[in-house]
Structure 1
Amino acid sequence: MEIFTIKKSEEGKRLDQFLMEQKHWPRAFFMKALRTKKIKVNGRKEEAAFRLSAGDEVRSFVLEKRDAVRPVRILYEDENLLVVYKPAGLLTLDITGKEKDTMLSRVSFALLQKGGVAAYPVHRIDFNTEGLLLFAKTEEIRDLLGRLIRDRKISKSYLAIVLGKIEPGHGTLTHQIFKDAKKNQVFVTDEPVKGSRTAITEYERLAYRSGLSLVKCHLITGRTHQIRSQMAYVGHPLLGDDKYGVKTTNRSYKEKRQLLCSAEISCDFGKEAGPLSYLAGTRWSVGNVGFVKKYFGGQ
C-alpha cells in the first residue's frame, strides 16, 4: 500500500490527474484500479474527477510488479532535476498509455524508491536514439528548463555515424523541414514551403574510417528527426537509419537502428535561470558510447 497526503500546492487537482502524475500508469490501468476499489480518498471510493483538498489522504492498494522495472543510470541528481541515460529501444514516455515500460516509468519508480517525488520529462529523444535526458522534480522546474531550452540557454550535442566522408569537415546545415504526421516522417527542402520550419545543425567530423564518418552535431533548433533528415539530405545518412538512409547498407553492417546518441547537455545560462543559476556552466556527458567504440575504437 502507498499513502499520499495532499499538499497545499496540490489542492484542487482531480484524483485521476494527481495519481497519473505520481504513478504514470496507463489510464486504463488507473480506471481499473479505481473501479475495483484499490484507490481510496480518506477511506472512501471516489470518482476520477474528485477534487482533492489539502490534507486529504490518498491510498493506493495496487500491487505492482516492481521487480520488472529496470534500473536507471543517473548521471546527475539534485533537489530540482535529474540527468539520466536512455538506452535505444525505449520510449521517453507514452502519451497513449499503452506502454508501461518507458523512461518516464523507470525514472518515476527510481524516485518513488527514494521518497515518492514525481518526475516530469523536459524533452524527448527518439525511440531508437540513446543518450541524455533531463527530468524535473516539479512542474515549475520543468517549465523553467523548457524555457531555457527554447531560449537556447541549454544546448544539446549528439554523436552520429554517417555514411561517407562528410565535407567540409565542419559546417552548418540550414534547411526547411516539414512533417508528415501520418507517416511520422519529415521532409527537407532548401526553400520555405507551406508548413515548413527552419532547421539549423552545426556539425564537426571527428574521425573518418572505412567509408564512415563520426560526426558531432550541435542542435541550434530542435525539429523532429532533424539530424537524421538533414544528414540524409546532404548525402550522408546515418548508419542504421532505415527511414532516411540506405536499408541495404544498414543490413550489410547488421545495424537495425540509427547510430545516434544524445551525448552532451550544457548549461549556457547565468542568473536568468533563477533557481537553477547554480548550474551555470555545468556540462553533462554520456561518456563511452558503444557504437563509437565499435567503429572507431572509442575515439
Structure 2
Amino acid sequence: MEEWNIGRKEEGRRLDAFLMERKGWSRSFFMKALRTKKIKVNGKKMEPSYRLMEGDAVRSFVLEIKKSRPVDILYEDENLLAVNKPAGLLSLDVTGRTEDTMLDRVNSFLAERGEKTAYPVHRIDFNTSGILLLAKNGRAGEILDRMIKERKIRKSYLCVVKGRPSPDKGRLENQLFKDAKKNRVYVAEHTVKGSKTAITDYRVVASRNGLSLVECHLLTGRTHQIRCQMAHAGHPLLGDDKYGSKEWNREKGERRQLLSSYKTTFDFGEEGGLLSYLSGKTIRLSRVPFVEKYFKGVEI
C-alpha cells in the first residue's frame, strides 16, 4: 500500500490527474484500479473528478508494476496473443507465490501500453519452451478453450532424444496414469484404473552423434505425454531427469528437457466464430536454441 497526505500545493487537483502523474499510470490502468476499489480517499471510493483537499489521505492498494521484462511476441491481434515462453519459467502461478511468470511478464507489458490483461488458455511445463496462447478477451478465450478441447488447434513439438527411434515415422499409443504425489506419469500397455489413452505421432528430423531431433504431434493432451512415451519407447529426452538418466544428462551438460512447442496450427473453420479468420494459420518459432546447438544447419 502507498499513501499520500495532500498538502496545500495539491489542493484542488483532480484525483485522476494527481495519481496518473505521480505513478505514471495510463488512464485505463487508473480507471481499472478505481473500479476494483484499489484507490481510496479517506477510506472511501471517489470519482476520478474528485477535487483533492488539504488533509486528504489518498491510498493505493495497487501492487507496484515492475518494469516489464522482454516478451517475445510471435503473433498479436485484438483477440489473441502468442508468445514464446522460455524454459525455466512458469506459464502462470495460481498460488500467487511466484512473482515472475510468463503471464506476469505479458500483463506487465500490456499494462505499459495501457491495455487490458490477457490470460493463457493452456499451459506449458516449467522446463519446456515454446508457443503459449493468451486470450485478450472473454469471448476469444471461450472459443480457444473449446477449439483446444476439440483438438482443432494443433500443437507440434521438437525434442532431442537418445538414440534413433525406429521406424523414422510412427505413432506411440499407450495408457498413461499419473501419481499426483510424485508428479510423475507411468505408462501401461493396457487400460488400468485411472489411466487415459495417450497418442503421439512422431517423425525423426535428423540424427547425429547418438542423438535424434524428433518432431512430435499430440493427438491427445496428457501430462508429460511426450516425455514419458518417448522414454518408454527407449528414447528419453536429453535433459529429462524425471524420465531419463540424470547421469547421462549431466555428462551432456543439460539440466532441462530439450522440448519445445515450436509450431501451432489453427485447424478450425467457421466453427471458430469470432476467430474464424485464424483458420489455416500457422504460428511457429523461427529458431530453437537446442536445435542450433545439436543440429546446426537443420531446417525446422
* Residue aligning to 1:27: none
Q: Distance in 1 between matches of 2:235 and 2:43?
A: 61
Offset at residue 43 of structure 1 (A): 7.1
Query: Structure 1, unaligned stretches of length 5 or more?
Result: 7-14, 20-33, 47-54
The residue type equivalent to 1:242 in the other structure is: D
Q: Which amino acid aligns with 1:64?
A: E
Kindly provide the CA deviation profile for residues 116-142 of structure 1, in whole angstroms up to 9, marking residues without a partner as x.
Answer: 311111100100000000000112211
For residue 109 of structure 1, what is the aligned residue in structure 2? 108
1:168 corresponds in structure 2 to: 167
Match of 2:12 in 1: none
| Structure 1 counterpart of 2:99 | 100
Q: Who is 2:177 aligned against?
A: 178
Question: Deviation of residue 71 (structure 1)?
Answer: 1.3
Identity %: 57
**What is the correspondence of 1:87-236 to structure 2 with a 5 Å cutoff?**
87-236=86-235
SS at match of 1:64: coil
Question: Which sections of structure 2, spanning at least 5 residues, go unmatched?
Answer: 1-18, 20-28, 51-58
Paired residue type of 1:123: H
Give 1 or 2 for the bigger CA radius of gyration.
2
Q: Which amino acid aligns with 1:179?
A: K
Change (3 A) 1:162 1:98: same
Q: 1:238 to 1:3 in 2, by over 3 A?
A: same
For 2:65 and 2:116, the matched residues in 1 are separated by 20
Q: 1:4 aligns with which of 31, 35, 52?
A: 31
In structure 2, distance between residues paired with 1:109 and 1:5: 14
**1:260 Cα deviation (Å)?**
0.2
Which residue number in structure 2 is paired with residue 278 of structure 1? 277
What is the one-letter code of the residue matched to 2:259?
L
Mapped pair 1:288 → 2:277: no
Deviations 1:243-295 (A, max 9, x none): 00011110110000000000000011110000000111100001111100111
Count matched residues: 260
- C-alpha change, 1:261 and 1:44, in structure 2 (3 Å) is same
Task: Tell me how large the CA RMSD over aligned residues is.
Answer: 2.2
CA contact (8 A) 1:89 1:128 kept: yes
Task: Give the match's secondary structure for 2:31.
Answer: strand
Is residue 156–residue 264 contact of structure 1 (8 Å, CA) maintained in 2?
yes
Alpha-carbon separation, structure 2, partners of 1:286 and 1:155: 14
Distance 1:45 1:185 in 2: 50
TM-score under structure 2 length normalisation: 0.82
Deviation digits for residues 80-124 of structure 1 (CA, Å, limit 9, x no counterpart): 010000000000001110001000000111111222311111100
Distance in 1, matches of 2:30 and 2:139, equals 24
CA offset at residue 40 of structure 1? 2.8
Is it true that 1:249 corresponds to 2:248 in the alignment?
A: yes
Q: 1:42 to 1:201 in 2, by over 3 A?
A: farther
> How many angstroms apart in 2 are the aligned matches of 1:76 and 1:113?
18
Whole-Å Cα distance in 1 between the matches of residues 132 and 40 of structure 2? 34
Q: How big is the shift at 1:41?
A: 5.7
Q: Distance in 1 between matches of 2:231 and 2:61?
A: 51
